[in-house]
Chain A
């Protein structure tokens, strides 16, 4: 379960589990987290938690709410966000374990009986039947492709000597309608593949087939009569 850690001047005061859908923060005693300090408004802010996601909303407090130093009205909380109310700090600790498990859930249906409800009205319970596997992966991988920089340099033709950095995931080479090949940047290297045209690209003097070919440092590629060298940078 995600939690908030309340502290002041570096001193931890309290750990608050986010076990309610709506957790209110303010000076008045009816709040879920009461902070008895004049810098805090009577009803200062609220944290809404839906399954593994939490949202912070400032309730038009007099002195405002900061997240990571920025004033906010509404904020989608992310792991290690620091909320500031006056001199008090609340650190948001996401439950990454549960998050990983939640995102490993099979797709799930959020409504019954077909009618749509507002998220605030939804009573969501992850169903056990939907769990297929529980692999302990971080939940938002979108793995950045490692920066193995590479470029090609033209060896002949009018632009001989010109360099082209391979920064995009795909770089096409050649003339559309005549001969086109593509270099794909993948986590484990660069691959050249034939796209269109009756002629296939030639690498180091050998014509390729339809399969992707892994490029090595200083390979010489020939497409539509233009020779170019592939090389790794840095």
Chain B
């Protein structure tokens, strides 16, 4: 594993780039994102469907993980989820590299990150919407989205629809997103209890999606991140088929071998029927990745 030397300043996203002058004075050591995060991606069509309409992307160096579950007839679902991933990946890569060159330290302000996410998700939404309007075979296509952006020992989580993000911290396994679905609304207003929800037939109706309207309301939340956390992004092909307890057991038992844990989750979904495409992105936080601060910022921090 890459171990930065004491006093060395790490510049996110620009390997071999020139170090800023402030690096000389930096005291705290933080790992580069790619060394602080382990990411594993798996996607599988399931046992019944022939197409895979899920699309996934993860890059530890950028600190970005994105998962989309497409919908629509013929191959339109694949087109929508594929467009969402391609657009967001390209745009966020550009945003992150420009953050680094402009500010010299990458993005570290939660409100700035949130603004970038809302803008880029909005742009991806419009691109999909435009394609569905201008091309008859794509009409009505859309996609869910869940993404996590890791920066400065935090993560910003955005989602639209019923793709989920869970976090295992110690023994605590928590769902950090709330589905934008009819079933979730029925649970919220007391029509259906969480126990009854397992038996509900209306589980495939989402109330928000990318590409169905000219604008989209992405839900963005910011969370702290600790070394040892395991974050799971998944499509409903996993959580519809596998109980949360079994997902939690898999992550805690197999957390030492992330690729095996991801394979096991896919296997569990397929063993339980595999009626839908199933995708998972697993992220393990190996260490601190606080954003490097300039000496003037740290000085200012001390005086505050």
A-chain residues with CB within 8 Å of residue B203 when the two chains form the complex: 103
Contact code string A97-111 (vs B, CB < 8 Å = 1, else 0)? 001001111111111
In the complex, the answer to whether B202 meets A51 with C-beta atoms within 8 Å is: yes
In the complex, the answer to whether A193 meets B260 with C-beta atoms within 8 Å is: yes
Report the minimum CB–CB distance from B40 to chain A (whole Å): 14
Complex alpha-carbon distance, A111 and B182, angstroms: 9
Q: Which residue of B lies closest to A187 (CB)?
A: B271
Interface stretch, picked from A7-15, A61-69, A119-127, A198-206, is A119-127
A-chain residues with CB within 8 Å of residue B275 when the two chains form the complex: 103-104, 137, 141
Return the contact of B271 from the options A108, A139, A145, A194 (Cβ within 8 A): A145
Given contacts A107-B236, A124-B182, A142-B241, 11 further A-B contacts (CB under 8 A): A74-B190, A76-B196, A78-B199, A102-B202, A109-B205, A119-B189, A124-B205, A143-B272, A171-B253, A194-B257, A195-B253
In the complex, the answer to whether A107 meets B71 with C-beta atoms within 8 Å is: yes
In the complex, the answer to whether A141 meets B272 with C-beta atoms within 8 Å is: yes
Is A130 on the interface with B (CB-CB < 8 A)? yes
Complex alpha-carbon distance, A131 and B71, angstroms: 10
**Segment 249-270 of B: residues with Cβ below 8 Å from A:** 249-250, 253-254, 256-257, 260, 264, 267-268
In the complex, the answer to whether B241 meets A169 with C-beta atoms within 8 Å is: no
Is A234 on the interface with B (CB-CB < 8 A)? no
Is A70 on the interface with B (CB-CB < 8 A)? no
Residues of A in contact (CB 8 Å), total: 57
Complex alpha-carbon distance, A42 and B35, angstroms: 70
**Segment 36-58 of B: residues with Cβ below 8 Å from A:** 48-49, 51, 53
Complex alpha-carbon distance, A52 and B271, angstroms: 26
**Segment 189-234 of B: residues with Cβ below 8 Å from A:** 189-193, 196, 198-209, 212-213, 215-217
Is B142 on the interface with A (CB-CB < 8 A)? yes
Interface of B is mostly: loop
Contact code string A16-57 (vs B, CB < 8 Å = 1, else 0)? 000000000000000000000000000000001011110100
**Segment 174-199 of A: residues with Cβ below 8 Å from B:** 176, 180, 182, 184, 186-187, 193-196
A-chain residues with CB within 8 Å of residue B271 when the two chains form the complex: 143, 145, 186-187
A-chain residues with CB within 8 Å of residue B273 when the two chains form the complex: 137, 141-143
B-chain residues with CB within 8 Å of residue A119 when the two chains form the complex: 182, 185-186, 189, 191
Complex alpha-carbon distance, A74 and B144, angstroms: 32
B-chain residues with CB within 8 Å of residue A78 when the two chains form the complex: 196, 199
5 smallest A-B Cβ distances: which pairs?
Answer: A52-B201, A76-B196, A129-B73, A110-B205, A196-B256
B-chain residues with CB within 8 Å of residue A193 when the two chains form the complex: 260
Complex A-B: 30 CB contacts under 8 Å: A48-B191, A50-B182, A52-B201, A55-B191, A76-B199, A78-B196, A103-B204, A103-B275, A106-B71, A106-B73, A107-B69, A107-B71, A108-B206, A111-B208, A112-B212, A112-B213, A114-B208, A114-B217, A116-B185, A119-B186, A122-B182, A137-B48, A137-B273, A137-B275, A143-B272, A169-B249, A169-B268, A172-B253, A182-B253, A187-B271
Is A233 on the interface with B (CB-CB < 8 A)? no
Is B246 on the interface with A (CB-CB < 8 A)? yes
Complex alpha-carbon distance, A195 and B257, angstroms: 6
Q: Which residue of A lies closest to B196 (CB)?
A: A76
Complex alpha-carbon distance, A193 and B243, angstroms: 22
Is B287 on the interface with A (CB-CB < 8 A)? no
Complex alpha-carbon distance, A106 and B70, angstroms: 9
Q: Which residue of B lies closest to A48 (CB)?
A: B191
Supposing A51-B201, A170-B264 touch, asked if A109 and B254 sit within 8 A by C-beta, the answer is no
Supposing A103-B204, A105-B204 touch, asked if A140 and B260 sit within 8 A by C-beta, the answer is no
Report the minimum CB–CB distance from A167 to chain B (whole Å): 12
In the complex, the answer to whether A53 meets B206 with C-beta atoms within 8 Å is: no
B-chain residues with CB within 8 Å of residue A113 when the two chains form the complex: 213
B-chain residues with CB within 8 Å of residue A87 when the two chains form the complex: none
Q: Which residue of B lies closest to A75 (CB)?
A: B196
Supposing A169-B246, A170-B249, A186-B271 touch, asked if A130 and B186 sit within 8 A by C-beta, the answer is no
Complex alpha-carbon distance, A143 and B47, angstroms: 14
Return the contact of B48 from the options A99, A135, A170 (Cβ within 8 A): A135
Return the contact of A133 from the options B49, B209, B246, B250 (Cβ within 8 A): B49
Return the contact of B191 from the options A76, A122, A133 (Cβ within 8 A): A76
**Segment 119-175 of A: residues with Cβ below 8 Å from B:** 119, 122, 124, 127, 129-133, 135, 137, 139-143, 145, 168-172
In the complex, the answer to whether B199 meets A170 with C-beta atoms within 8 Å is: no
Is B104 on the interface with A (CB-CB < 8 A)? no
In the complex, the answer to whether A140 meets B198 with C-beta atoms within 8 Å is: yes
Is B162 on the interface with A (CB-CB < 8 A)? yes
In the complex, the answer to whether A110 meets B190 with C-beta atoms within 8 Å is: no
In the complex, the answer to whether B48 meets A50 with C-beta atoms within 8 Å is: no
Is B77 on the interface with A (CB-CB < 8 A)? yes
